Amino acid sequence: MEYTHLGRSGLKVSRLCLGTMNFGPYTTESDSFTIMNKALELGINFFDTANVYGWQLGVGVTEGIIGNWLQEDTSRRDSIVLATKVYGKMGEGVNDAKLSAYHIKKACEDSLKRLKTDHIDLYQMHHIDRDTPWEEVWQAMEQLVREGKVLYIGSSNFAAWNLVQAQYEAKNRHFMGLVSEQSIYSLRNRNIELEVLPACKAMGIGVIPWSPMAGGLLCGVLEKAETGRRTREPLQQSVEKLRPQIEQYEALCKTLGYKPADVALAWVLQNPVVTSPIVGPRTVQQLEDNVKALELQLDSETVKALDTIWPGPGNQAPEAYAW
């Protein structure tokens, strides 16, 4: 396993991050334990979750599974960098969502209880809150850091100008601010190449791509369909919409002799601004397959062919659309 710094921080994380969103809804607790054990065995030390995962209002199913796994062997806690998120609706109350100081404090306390730990290594804002001033957000986060309940702060799904605004306010408060941004990024969705990636590079913010395989779209979906494997309805709709591109992509991967999922993940990993893509395996076999992508280096001709099939904006802003 390879390791790298999380943004400009001194913290080192594995080049793959274990995403846990499937734990509970699609993967049983027992199988989730097996996947987490295998992740440690493979050298993955970066685990990502969120208080809303499990999709049962206010329950925090996935955090609870991770907490039970940590409790089973307390030595595991010091072997991982544990990340979770705050923002989503966690109750019926008017203050049970978003980023007010009130909700941040309560959400953190509740996550700590479910995770059965005394601190969160990376506490991420799951979305921008346009109704709460940064003075309030940073005051709440600073308090959690002072209390030792949180070590680092990250964001997710922020626009570039959100990142700049957040860092400007943090600097004024003599606070480190954001060390990471978790954004959707794959061959299928390259929007963050316009501004988010350049902003993160300039400010030393680590990039943690989510859905690097486009929700299964880049995992050999057509080949799987030919073997009789069923595809979830939302994914099937995307397949039909993008069938010509997917056909070209899978044909290229077959010519290269690589699995489509490995190519998709390797492509994201080769971006120098990317810290650690999130993989969300439902089985141990899927996790082991994901790790193989670390050994794959795509040559310039392959990258050029991928750009033709899945074109990005062509450059960062404003060069992408202006002289």
Instruction: Indicate whether 228 pLDDT > 60.
Output: no
> Which residue's entry shows tokens 């059965």?
116
Q: Residue 230: what pLDDT?
A: 59
Instruction: Indicate whether 52 pLDDT > 90.
Output: yes
Question: What is the pLDDT confidence band of residue 238, given thresholds at 50, 70 and 90?
Answer: confident
Structural domains of the chain, count: 1
For residue 12, the one-letter residue type is K
Exposure string (b/e) for 110-142, b if CB count within 10 Å is 16 or more? Answer: bbbebbbbebbbbbbbbbbbeebebeebbebbb
Assess contact for 184 and 219: CB atoms under 8 A: no
Instruction: Indicate whether 231 pLDDT > 70.
Output: no
Instruction: Indicate whether 193 pLDDT > 70.
Output: yes
Has residue 232 been placed in a domain?
A: no
- Report which of 293, 186, 294, 192 is spatially closest to residue 249, judged by C-alpha positions: 186
Q: What is the DSSP string of 59-70?
A: T-HHHHHHHHHH
Residue 79: how many other CB atoms lie within 10 Å: 11
Has residue 308 been placed in a domain?
A: no
* Mean pLDDT within 155-178: 98
Question: Phi then psi for 142, rounded to 5 degrees?
Answer: -60, -40
Has residue 46 been placed in a domain?
A: yes
Has residue 286 been placed in a domain?
A: yes
Q: Residue 68: what pLDDT?
A: 98
Instruction: Indicate whether 225 pLDDT > 90.
Output: no
Has residue 227 been placed in a domain?
A: no
Structural domain harbouring 19: 3-215+269-299
pLDDT in tens, 63-105: 999 999 999 999 999 999 999 999 999 999 999 999 999 999 9
* Mean pLDDT within 240-249: 93
Has residue 274 been placed in a domain?
A: yes
Per-residue CA distances from 223 to 105, 171, 220, 258, 311 (Å): 47, 50, 5, 13, 23
Write down the mean pLDDT value for the chain: 95
Q: Residue 114: what pLDDT?
A: 98
Rounded CA-CA distance 185/274 in Å is 10
Q: Residue 227: what pLDDT?
A: 65
Question: What is the pLDDT confidence band of residue 232, given thresholds at 50, 70 and 90?
Answer: low
Q: How far is Cα of residue 71 from the mean position of the Cα atoms in its chain?
A: 24
Has residue 150 been placed in a domain?
A: yes
% pLDDT > 90, the chain: 93
How many Å is the maximal CA-CA distance in the chain?
59
**Token digits of residue 141:** 């986060």
CATH number at residue 96: 3.20.20.100
* Mean pLDDT within 150-168: 98
Active-site residues, by number, are 53
Q: Residue 19: what pLDDT?
A: 98
Instruction: Indicate whether 309 pLDDT > 90.
Output: yes
Instruction: Indicate whether 287 pLDDT > 70.
Output: yes
Has residue 226 been placed in a domain?
A: no
**Token digits of residue 301:** 């001709």
Q: Residue 290: what pLDDT?
A: 94
Q: Residue 234: what pLDDT?
A: 73
